[in-house]
Structures are given as structure tokens and as C-alpha cells.
Amino acid sequence: MSALNGSRTAFAAERAREDFPIFGETPHGKPLVFLDSAASAQKPRAVIDAVRHCYEAEYANIQRGVYYLSQRVTENFEGARDKARVLIGAAESREIVFVSGATEAINLVAHSFVRARFERGDEVVISHMEHHSNIVPWQMLRDELGLEIKVVPIDDAGEFQLDAYAALLGPRTRLVAVTHVSNALGTITPAAEIVRLAHARDIPVLFDGAQAVPHLPVDVTALDCDFYAFSSHKLYGPSGIGVLYGKAEHLEAMPPYQGGGEMILSVSFERTEYADIPHKFEAGTPNIAGAVGFGAAIDYLRGFDMAAVRAHEQALLDYATARLTEINSVRIYGTAEHKCGVISFAVDDVHPHDVGTILDLEGVSVRTGHHCAQPVMDRFDIPATVRASFGLYNTEADVDALVAGIRKVLEVFS
């Protein structure tokens, strides 16, 4: 009996799979094997129903309406904020800023926290395994303000090099901005040590948690990070909505980076008085139904024994790693001791896009390319990888279908 089979007494992925209507689809006449949750997870019926109900039965603009529908949907919108607070262990709901996703969350910090405080020659420390959304905003500020970007190396296993990180922290370091879990390699970074070493020098820390929150327990209060960014759509919720967590002391001191309706207390032609946090960062009409669906996704997840879900996903990752290692032509990139949810690999002498195309014809959906992490590809001197990533609905049978599809690739290119 595999480790995965042993975990099913606590969590039945096959039963959870029934909650996701998409698995009734048969691409190219084959049962759908969806292994691209790191890009965007599928949506359970509870989330789809919540979004539909919002539009059908309670839609109105939020916050300022005195009528029933507006008050009702405002209550659900703000309820989703509190659900997000509980999910990541934030102390107060006002520390939860709704944004379009992790990308906007990082850009908000770049524009409202960094721009107002940094001077030419000040440093931002990132790592070699960052998603482009945690590289490009800092490059833009580097080019505009003269900031310096320092990069923590990774080793051949894709491990974050903690000693090198400590050595990069200097008197001009003003922010550490690193991933919690690598989207390209699955590496879990040593988050607690990253914070401890930075805070010893009074350096604030931002985590890109887009890949972490769906798979790991996250407690921002215990972690003591200053900012944490994540997205709904990787958490089985709608796209176009996400969260920036920020310590209240930081958010209160930061200016808004967008102006408009909803983020003000009063406006005259002479001056504007901004709303309190978090609303001063939420200009304009937000993704109302998205937030409601996000709240439903959190409710859905919290309906499971999350420790059992994590055990299931870890056993599935172990099983998939073992099965792929059996194929001599497969090279796995990212073999860190602590990983979750992701296996990136290449097949000898076959371009990843060709692998992905043949797998698709077998009903297996994987991601191919650089995964918005080109520096990772450069580190391993490869143009791209095939990435299989898992969600709570994946099973051992999905891994078997992936392996069978790779063997089909080898037949085609033999």
C-alpha cells in the first residue's frame, strides 16, 4: 500500500473531486486529469453557487447604500475579509486589504511603502526563485529611484541559501521580499528564519504567499512578517481578487497609491481626507462577487481537516516523485527537502511544449514554459520545464495517467 492510499482514511480526494463540476469534462474524449493548480485551481460548486447567488439575489454596490441589497452584500463582502483574516491568522480585519491578486498586492507595497521611504542606493533583497511579480516591480523602482536589488542564490536542489541571505543583509537593506513557496520548484523557504534574521536588523519582510496558502498552515502573527500577499484563484476561489496583509502600523503610515471613490472620508477641491485602513487602499468599485466567492472558497476549505488534506497532498507529491524517477529520460528540477504541490521536470531530447501537447491529447493538463520564473530556468540552464502541480482533488490515478502520458511521449519521439 502506498503512502497515499494510507492517507485516504483521513481524506478522500475522490469524494472531494465530486464537488468540482469541471471533472465531468472529457477533453479529447479522455477523462480530465488536471495538474495545473499552481497556475489556477479549479472551483468547487459551493464557490460557483456563491458567485451566481450574489449576482442573482443580492447584487448591489457596497458600503454606502442604505437599502437592503447594498447592506446585505456589504455584510457578505466584509465577512469575506474576516474569513481571510482568520485563514492567515491576522490580528485584525483592517490588516486585510482586498486587491486583484498577489501581483497587485506586491505592487501596492512597492508604490506605497517603498517609494515613500527609499533613497538611491537602498536595497531590496529577493531570491533567485521569485515569480516575475516579485521581480519586476523592484526593477521598475530600481530604474526610477536608483534602488539596488540583491539576490539570494539557490543551490542545485533549489534550496534557499540561508547563510548567503544573512550575508546580504546590510546597512542599506530596507526590505526583504521573497516567496514562501516557489511556484516553479515547489521549494518551501525557511520563512521563520528569514523573518528572524531580517528583524534583527529592523528590516521589514514581505512574503509572496500565493503558492503557500493553498497548501500550508500560514499564521502571519506567529510568523511576524510585515506583509503577506496571496490570491483567491489558487485557493479554489474566483480570479480577480486577492489579499495584501499588512501590519496595521505600516498600512496606517502608507499613502494610497490609487485615488477615487470609496477610499475617502471627504473631498473638496482644496484637499482630500482618506478613509481608514484597509479602505484607503480600495479605490473604486471592487470585485464584489469575487470577494463573496473568495469567502465561500475559504469556508469550503475550512470544512476539511486541513492537516489531513496536507498529508494527502504530501503523499501524492512523494508518490509522483517516485513514479517519475522510475523513468530514466525524466529529469526533475527542484529536489528540496521541504516541498509542496509542484514537480517540474523535463524529458530528454523533447521540448516541454511537445510534452505538454501530447499529454493534453491524453487528457492530462500540465503547464509548460518558464512559469513566470525565467531566472529559475537560467539557474538550471534550461529554457523551460513541464510542471505538474496538485490540489486536494488530485489522486494517485492522476499521477498514473501522467506517467502513462510521458511514456506515450517517449514512444512518439523514439
pLDDT tens, position by position, 352-406: 999 999 999 999 999 999 999 999 999 999 999 999 999 999 999 999 999 999 9
Query: What pLDDT shows up at residue 266?
Result: 81
Map grid coordinates 506515450 to a residue.
408
Secondary element (H or E) of residue 246: strand 242-246
CB neighbours of residue 1 within 10 Å: 6
What stretches in the chain show pLDDT beneath 50? 1-9
The reported pLDDT for the residue numbered 5 is 38
Q: What is the pLDDT of residues 13-25, one digit of tens each?
A: 999 999 999 999 9
Distance CA 34, CA 42 (A): 9
* Helix-then-strand count for the chain, H and E: 15, 15
Q: Which three cell numbers stand for residue 407?
A: 511514456
Q: What per-residue confidence (pLDDT) applies to 9?
A: 39
- DSSP letters, 167-217, are HH--TTEEEEEEESB-TTT-BBP-HHHHHHHHHTTT--EEEE-TTTTTTS-
The pLDDT score that the predictor gives to residue 4 is 37
Cβ neighbors of 36 (< 8 A, separation 6 or more) are: 365, 366, 367, 387, 388, 389
The C-alpha atoms of residue 145 and residue 221 are separated, in whole angstroms, by: 32
DSSP 80-140: HHHHHHHHHT-S-GGGEEEESSHHHHHHHIIIIIITTT--TT-EEEEETT--GGGTHHHHH
Find the Cα–Cα–Cα–Cα dihedral 305, 218, 139, 279, rounded to 10°: 100
Give the DSSP letter of residue 220.
Answer: H
331, three cell numbers: 529529469
Question: E strands, 366-405, where?
Answer: 367-369, 385-389
Looking at 54, 225, 340, 372, which residue is catalytic?
A: 372
Amino acid at residue number 58? E
Q: Which residue matches cell numbers 490588516?
A: 95
Whether 212 contacts 181, CB under 8 Å = yes
Contact (Cβ atoms closer than 8 angstroms) between residue 199 and residue 220? no
Q: Annotated catalytic, 225? A: no
Q: d(Cα 384, Cα 344) in Å, to the nearest integer?
A: 9
- Which residues pair with residue 8 across a beta bridge? none
Scan for cell 550575508, then name that residue: 167
Domains of the chain: residue spans and CATH? 3-31+305-412 (3.90.1150.10), 48-302 (3.40.640.10)
- Cell output for 145: 529611484
Q: What are phi and psi of 137, to 5 degrees?
A: -60, -35
Predicted pLDDT at 63: 85
- Strand partners for 242: 99, 231
For residue 10, the model assigns a pLDDT of 60
Rounded Cα gap, residues 311 and 304, in angstroms:
12
Which helix H or strand E contains 352, and what residues bound it? helix 352-361
Task: Quote the pLDDT of residue 7.
Answer: 37
Which of the 8 DSSP states describes residue 36? B
Over residues 248-263, the pLDDT tens digits come to: 999 999 999 888 877 7
Which residue type occupies 268?
A: S
Instruction: Give the contacts of 364 (CB within 8 A, at least 6 positions apart).
Output: 33, 35, 398, 401, 402, 405
- The Cα–Cα gap between 387 and 35 comes to 8
Cβ pair 229, 207 in contact under 8 A: yes
